[in-house]
Structure 1
């Protein structure tokens, strides 16, 4: 504690002026005794005499000055201990923080905000899953609008299912006023954000609470190649998605579901990978079963394999729109 209470300040001044003060008067100002500003009057126990301020100040400064000296000595010892390593570090190449682990949404968003604020040329984004919540879209708009205003090029990959999300499409309409290109695919890899070919962000856990910030040039270049591969196969958002049924009445999304069924994935996993809810996924499975004449889940897998639906030369839904 370094400040006197207001009442104590006034009483101490009075005591210095008069030479003493009645003990009863300081009942409401315990700070006087905390600071040792008064001591008992040897002639009358009902009175207290003031301790000279110069004495009080010296008593309170002494431990502080001693602590400062101790810390100064510690800093000198630490400097001497690390001096040999500093010399070695000066000769070595500057380290690169190739991978930084970001824990928690707050830290992840802070790193993303910093990277996008420094971005000057292009942002590449892969956003798997279906439509976004209003909260997430609001955050994205606040982060992306300055990029659009600076003329930064943005290319984003979504899954086909966002075409049915009113909120996501409204966000897209706002962003399309800038240098923004958006394409969709049936299935995507995990979330990916790349800024200016210098830094990339990928999730480390499925719960989106841990992410990796990657700055190693080789890693970033590799991820850019992955993005470009996906981009070349995707359909521009303003073009019709390859959902049209083939001659056997099975759509492109149902063919993707069929492939995942044969691989042994459960409904929840299929829905997550294709960016749709489980109810929609099961509706597609039911239509697939009807088209193939299946009466059970086990029979459906057999009929898919026998139908040739997954053969490489099977007509791709939508024709040339989805190479």
Structure 2
């Protein structure tokens, strides 16, 4: 049954087939379903969404949607370093299972607000961000992917940052290493003073903004004209955990990047070498490190020259020989430095 089910239903719990979704939804509503109802959809048993009723083996009972959500989040956590884009698909699946969970059991707090809200358009995103800023009282955590921050980009979120600082809110921001080279960011951080700590990594996940560990904003499409406002405690807690793990790996903005230990090879070139060893194309490497494709190719050319490689194939061999085929892990920082910084508090950019 496992082989046949896998062949006919090649999916996971985050995207059920139509037939499987109908049977699982019916099981959640009724508490159980006859075993014969699940025969056309063996995927439900293989994914442990249904299991035998210990009181009557002719029936199957559903795994609680809340437990399914926990599995999805745990799986996402394991893969976050490989593919941050999985966060978006987890949100979609989470919304589906959360709806089924409300059918199964409604808590007293179920009507206190929308756990996941889609914000369509820049004006709605800005309004929601302004509202969250006004409600925030203690902490803001942000992840800002991409490269050098431009002056006009940073200034658009200045009113929020100043309002937060005025109320004594503490802010922590994660950027890519490339952002260190932008004077606009340095000016912004100086203006904000000690209200913010900033750190950098070779690469970060997609844009994320968390207010008071109770509400989060993430992009909902590629051009960031749509966003998701998340207020479900379990999902927000998961995103906070992701942020904290990245924060411990990051390097304070005022601290120098670690030396590679290989003469003639910079920290960025070592990061590029690791991604080349994974088989990524130039455009993908550039996007992940927040640099242009042209800059990326210039670094690859210098890397080839330094390692004495005459071709891409030979470069791959030289990278392995030099021990550059492993991605760098930033050191855990025990005592955070008080570094001025400011969040780019606009998700749609």
Please give the TM-score of this superposition, normalised by the length of structure 1: 0.65
SS at match of 2:256: coil
Name the counterpart of 1:124: 141
Name the counterpart of 1:191: 207
Say if 2:298 is the partner of 1:297. Answer: no
Name the counterpart of 1:80: none
C-alpha displacement of 1:127: 0.3
Alignment partner of 2:291 out of 272, 276, 287: 276
SS at match of 2:274: helix
**Superposition pairs of residues 47-196 of structure 1, within 5 angstroms:** 93-94=110-111, 96-175=113-192, 177-196=193-212
C-alpha displacement of 1:229: 0.5
C-alpha displacement of 1:149: 1.1
Q: Structure 1 292/92 Cα, relative in aligned 2: closer, same or farther at 3 Å?
A: closer
Using the alignment, how far apart are the partners of 1:172 and 1:152 within structure 2?
Answer: 15
C-alpha displacement of 1:321: 8.1
Name the counterpart of 1:204: 220
Count of residues in correspondence between the two structures: 229
Deviations 1:154-211 (A, max 9, x none): 0001111111111111111111x24211111111011100000110011122211111
Using the alignment, how far apart are the partners of 1:178 and 1:320 within structure 2?
Answer: 21
SS at match of 1:303: helix
C-alpha displacement of 1:262: 2.0
Preserved contact between residue 148 and residue 178 of structure 1 (Cα < 8 Å): no
Using the alignment, how far apart are the partners of 1:239 and 1:90 within structure 2?
Answer: 48
Unaligned segments of structure 2, at least 5 residues: 1-105, 335-349
Alignment partner of 1:255 out of 233, 258, 270: 270
Name the counterpart of 1:240: 256
Unaligned segments of structure 1, at least 5 residues: 1-88
Name the counterpart of 1:29: none
Alignment partner of 2:280 out of 259, 262, 265: 265
Preserved contact between residue 144 and residue 208 of structure 2 (Cα < 8 Å): yes
Q: Structure 1 229/214 Cα, relative in aligned 2: closer, same or farther at 3 Å?
A: same
Please give the TM-score of this superposition, normalised by the length of structure 2: 0.61
Deviations 1:39-92 (A, max 9, x none): xxxxxxxxxxxxxxxxxxxxxxxxxxxxxxxxxxxxxxxxxxxxxxxxxx9999
Using the alignment, how far apart are the partners of 1:124 and 1:155 within structure 2?
Answer: 5
Relative contact order higher in (CA < 8 Å, ≥ 6 apart) = 2
Preserved contact between residue 150 and residue 184 of structure 2 (Cα < 8 Å): yes
Larger Rg, first or second structure (1 or 2): 1
Preserved contact between residue 260 and residue 270 of structure 2 (Cα < 8 Å): no
Using the alignment, how far apart are the partners of 2:326 and 2:225 within structure 1?
Answer: 39
Using the alignment, how far apart are the partners of 1:181 and 1:225 within structure 2?
Answer: 18
| RMSD (CA atoms) | 2.6
C-alpha displacement of 1:263: 2.1
SS at match of 1:194: strand
